[in-house]
Structure 1
Amino acid sequence: WAPAWLLVAMVAGLALPVIAAWLAIPLVAVVAAYLQYRYAPVMEQALTRVFVVSLTGVTAAVLNRLLLTNRVLRRTREQLAVAAVAQERERVARDLHDLLGHTLSVIVVKAAAVRRLVPTDPGAAAGHAADIETIGRTALTRVREVVHDAAPPTLRAELSAAVDALRSAGIAVTAPEPGGYDVELGEPLAWALREAVTNVLRHSGAARCRIEVARDGGVLRLVVADDGVGSDGASDEGGLAGLRRRLQAAGGGLDVGPGKAGFTLTAWVPDA
């Protein structure tokens, strides 16, 4: 009957849950040894039966756990792959929204300036038209960079672009000189500045805009304040909501709302 007991131990190791298997295998081994001893009362044979049956059951149980673990790992790997794809899609969508929303707003402002200046100052109008061409070419390059997750925006570059875009729209700007802010720290605030300027151009109807960048108590803070009315809140479903997630991922945050004389956006990240 030895093969039968080996089969029972193997089935217990393969079919039963882990705890039940570890309880059943010793029981099967003891019963097999007891019956062996009753048939042939030789202690060495009974102990051998315990060892062989236990080894068979334990081997089957370990194999079962390996198979289960392999299935779990494979399923987890598939889930991680799906999550990575979804995360990458969200990143591309968010970056394209921020990039194209800002770029198209600037192009609209420049085009309006061209139309306004053509009758009175063709040279200035031609300059704005050349800017539109440059902005369009730059946007094409940046779209490729977004798709390939390369060359993130810098706060220094965005400060210069923001001042130019706001002044082209006839908005008086107060802004700091572009500084050598750390690229990794400045990237989330660069996106924040881009979104803020886009909203000023699109929604505010502002005549003045103030941009501040300061280090304060371990925080790098950006403030964009204008004297307009701000957005109607619909953009928070897209641009501002995505910006808030981006800043939170960097350990920072975002506040938007009415200020003392208009609308204010405040964004911050840890200055570490």
Structure 2
Amino acid sequence: MLDDFMTRATLAGVGVAFAAAPLGCFVVWRRMAFFGDATAHAAILGVALSLALNISVFAGAMAVALIMALVVTFLAGRGYAMDTLLGVLSHSALAFGLVAVSFLSGIRIDLMAYLFGDILAVSRSDLIVIWGGAALVVALVVWRWAALLTSTLSEELAYASGLDPKREQLILTVSLAITVAVAIKVVGVLLIAAMLIIPAAAARGFARTPEAMAVIATAIGTISAVAGLQGAYLLDTPAGPSIVCVAAILFAGLNLIGWRNRKGT
């Protein structure tokens, strides 16, 4: 079954949806959209370093994405406005990554594949990495779900409940770095933030509980991956952007339905 490239691509897309959707709910709740974008942009520098050092692209991308996330977390609130800090670090990391790639002599690299994804070229070993990373992210989110929710609602409430909000932020940061690393092959660094945010944002208007929002977001992400791949196959369009386009269409359609329901009541 895994000999078929479309089957491998579909499994990869679903794996990324399972990791990105529940994590994306916290990104939306905490208004961390630019934080996720900055972490994703840093991954291209990790790709360049991993190729230069002849190590796993997954390991390099995750390490640099994690360093970026930790630096942003450390500098936030120390005289730097968060949006300004994210803008500087995000675009700087992407620029340094692109420049670093240009110095890799003797190494053939399809830069577009890392920027916009190359899901159709996913191998069996890539599937193991993607699903292993997705399982780790889901396990972390499920394990710390109540604590993450409490810290998201209020830091004071978290302290009163005996929780450390900084530790929960670190867990969220690590999960985000893992998700970026596993998604880079599927949708690329420029579209990872979209897969984190759009399914969660689309689910927000239909969920009555945080758990329901995570489940609905996962379903939307999965549908986007499967339908986007089918659309790319039939229309001969880029697979990664096609997945994001389907997610955007679902977001618009679901919001229109929600608006009409609210207007009708």
Q: Shorter-chain TM-score category?
A: under 0.3
TM-score normalized by structure 1?
0.24
Work out which structure has the larger RCO, using CA pairs closer than 8 Å and 6 or more positions apart in sequence: 2
The structure with the larger Rg is: 1
Richer in strand (by share): 1
Richer in helix (by share): 2
TM-score normalized by structure 2?
0.24
